[in-house]
Structure 1
Amino acid sequence: MASSSRAETSGVTRKLVRLAIAVVLFIALYTGAWFYAASWLKDTLGQQLAASAQGMHSVSCSNLSVRGFPFRIGLFCDSVGVDDRPSGLSATVGAIRSAAQVYRPGHGVIEIDGPAQVRVTPDLVFDVDWDLLRASATAWTNGLDRASIAYDGLKGRLNVPSEAVSIGIAATHGEKHIRQSGEALDIAASFDALSLDLGDRVLPPLDVAADLTIADAARWISAEGPPADVPLGASVELRRLSLDLGDGKVATLSGPLKVGDDGYLSGTLDLDIAGITVWRDRVSEAFPEVAETTAHVAQVIQGLSAGGDRAVVKLNVQDGTVYLGLFPIAFIPPF
């Protein structure tokens, strides 16, 4: 019995030793593979970035490194710059930190520090900063499947001196989402407490949300890429575009739209507006030059609602001109 017991113990010990050796070998091989992949990735990207500096489209990444061992792998840069010489566009942002799970390389997350600056010749400059900005994306060899971005404490200003344009923008929180949905492309965006500074006037903050689908546009974010004339010819289903002043004073647009080959929008929209008098007063205060037109439009809408302060009316959009009944009330510039 003693001899049998010792034999069983010896067999168990050998199995444990073999298991331990296998675990050690796996860890060693995995560690070697991770660091080899990280080194290859850093060298390859470094060569591509260096080569781009000699071309018409360059990207720079200061102090490039690859981190995340053992279960993640990601790129880190102290700052990033982009220079597209043919279009005259250049941009810089702060530090970038990215990561993807080793077992799920097609899904990545990224965190970007401000401030950022975008410049377009001859004199367009957009300066922007934020408290926190995070993004995520799911992609594979056929292109991007979906992507999201969220930020807090956004503040920026667009300056175009040649056009006498100076617009400030601020939002406490914002999100944007995009995804392929069969052959279509779904897009959603929102801004909390969005405010605009137009220089000579500051618009009161409001919450903005949009949700729409563009037919046959999934390829825009695929490896194929968007057509050169995007978005001309696009068919859009605007499920919801809402502007919220608070206290239930919400205006919502929904309906189908078409972007013509000339860039002008056409379609039919349903406007659901609550707090007609409040909207009239806010628009008149912000844009006194259109106060008379605003008062007339509010009067027509109230007439359609039997004098109430909420109405649902139909708007027709023809080649960029928005009609309420027979009256043109707004113009949408071409894309």
Structure 2
Amino acid sequence: MKKRIIILGSVVLAIVALWSLAWFVLAGLVKQQIAAQAQADGITAPQITCGTLNVGGFPFRLDADCAQARIVSGDAVLELPGIRASIQVDNPTHMLASALGPLQVTDTFTGSRNAVEWSSLQASVRLSNWRIARASLSAKDIVWSDTLVGQTLIAQTPLAEIHLFDIPEQHDPERQTTALAGYMLANGLAYPGLSLTDTSAELQIELSGLPDDVRNWGEPSLLPNLQAANGQLTIVAAHGTDAASTLDASGALMLDPQGQIDGQITITSTGVAERIGPLLEEPWRTLVLGKPAPDGTYANQLNFRAGGIFSGLVPIAAIGPLY
């Protein structure tokens, strides 16, 4: 009996030792991969640097903590006090993340500076065979301010959420494409620039033709492949309302062979034209929102084709090819 106990104890110790070794090796690889992002050029791929980078969570989690994070992407520089990402070792396809605010955003080209604060910001991403099964982002007590000179409130909301869901029936294993449904929500939104208070906004979209492997989303050929797969952004419903106005939109957009946006968006509204008068003067306000009906509602369709935006047959703006 004593011999069996010794053997069993030795086996347990061996398993613990092997598990510990594997965890520390994996933690080292994770730290190495994150640290490697500091070598990116910040143009073709975001450059991410950490004032302090630690990987903990032994023995069953991997918690990557990046303190004083700095992200450079093109002209945009984002700075955060801290970012944490965590996965369970036995469930590596499900990642939880959080961030400390405020987020400082600087545009090195225009010189603008913004700050975004929150009381809580949580994210979750779950993969299935490298496809997004579900991704969510939730933030509470968001305050967005212009900080170039002093601090001027741009917008605030007590709650904002973004969710992405896989659409299994649109997965095409042969073409290696998939589709996602998206839902976005903001409650109690205030936007002083348009005198908006206690506004609710919702957006439902579907995006098809995406690569079914998220590791390919950063490829330069993403947009050409999206066009070749007849990928489409469908605005199922966009709805915003407050005590004095409503705005609804729906439509579908895709890319033509030249990489230009093609499609239509239908807009209906009440009280919006009067509210945005100072920001969008005539004739542009009518070209975008349409003319009022006898009951005070507005309706219009914006058409995207051949590198332009048209209100009916009237061109109102030009958009260059996306690739």
Q: Under a length normalisation based on structure 2, what TM-score does the superposition of the two structures give?
A: 0.71
Identify the residue that residue 96 of structure 1 maps to in structure 2. Answer: 83
Q: Is the 8 A contact 1:265 1:317 kept in 2?
A: no
Unpaired segments ≥5 residues, structure 2: 172-177
Encode CA deviations 1:296-333: one digit per residue, 9 max, x unaligned. 94434x38xxxxxxx8x97432233455xx9x8x9687
Identify the residue that residue 293 of structure 2 maps to in structure 1. Answer: 299
Mapped partners of 2:252, 2:39: distance in 1: 45
Identify the residue that residue 184 of structure 2 maps to in structure 1. Answer: 189
1:24 aligns with 2:20: no
Identify the residue that residue 308 of structure 1 maps to in structure 2. Answer: none
1:202 aligns with 2:187: no
User: How far 1:68 moved relative to its partner?
Assistant: 0.7
Q: Is the 8 A contact 2:137 2:161 kept in 1?
A: yes
User: How far 1:208 moved relative to its partner?
Assistant: 0.8
Encode CA deviations 1:176-199: one digit per residue, 9 max, x unaligned. 12345322232221111222233x
Amino acid at match of 1:79: Q
Mapped partners of 2:162, 2:240: distance in 1: 16
Amino acid at match of 1:65: N
Identify the residue that residue 243 of structure 1 maps to in structure 2. Answer: 240
Cα 1:253–1:44 change in 2 (3 A) is: closer
Select the structure that is richer in helix. Answer: 1
Mapped partners of 1:55, 1:258: distance in 2: 25
Cα 1:221–1:192 change in 2 (3 A) is: farther
Identify the residue that residue 156 of structure 1 maps to in structure 2. Answer: 144
Mapped partners of 2:117, 2:62: distance in 1: 27
The partner residue of 1:284 within 274, 289, 310 is 274
Identify the residue that residue 175 of structure 2 maps to in structure 1. Answer: none
Mapped partners of 1:243, 1:97: distance in 2: 33
Identify the residue that residue 157 of structure 2 maps to in structure 1. Answer: 171
Mapped partners of 1:220, 1:314: distance in 2: 40
Structure 1 segment 304-323 matched on structure 2, within 5 A: 315-319=300-304, 320-322=309-311
Cα 1:206–1:283 change in 2 (3 A) is: farther
SS in 2 for 1:216: strand
The partner residue of 1:82 within 47, 71, 76 is 71
Mapped partners of 2:114, 2:223: distance in 1: 23
Cα 1:33–1:156 change in 2 (3 A) is: same
Q: Is the 8 A contact 1:243 1:250 kept in 2?
A: yes
Amino acid at match of 2:25: Y
Encode CA deviations 1:148-204: one digit per residue, 9 max, x unaligned. 21111111135799xxxx871211111112345322232221111222233xx5323
Aligned length: 294
User: How far 1:112 moved relative to its partner?
Assistant: 0.5
Mapped partners of 1:50, 1:236: distance in 2: 33
The partner residue of 2:118 within 126, 130, 141 is 130
User: How far 1:60 moved relative to its partner?
Assistant: 1.1
Amino acid at match of 1:189: M
RMSD of equivalent CA atoms: 4.2
Identify the residue that residue 105 of structure 1 maps to in structure 2. Answer: 92
Mapped partners of 2:316, 2:222: distance in 1: 22
Encode CA deviations 1:210-236: one digit per residue, 9 max, x unaligned. 111123134694425365684996532
Sequence identity (%): 19
1:120 aligns with 2:110: no
1:256 aligns with 2:246: no
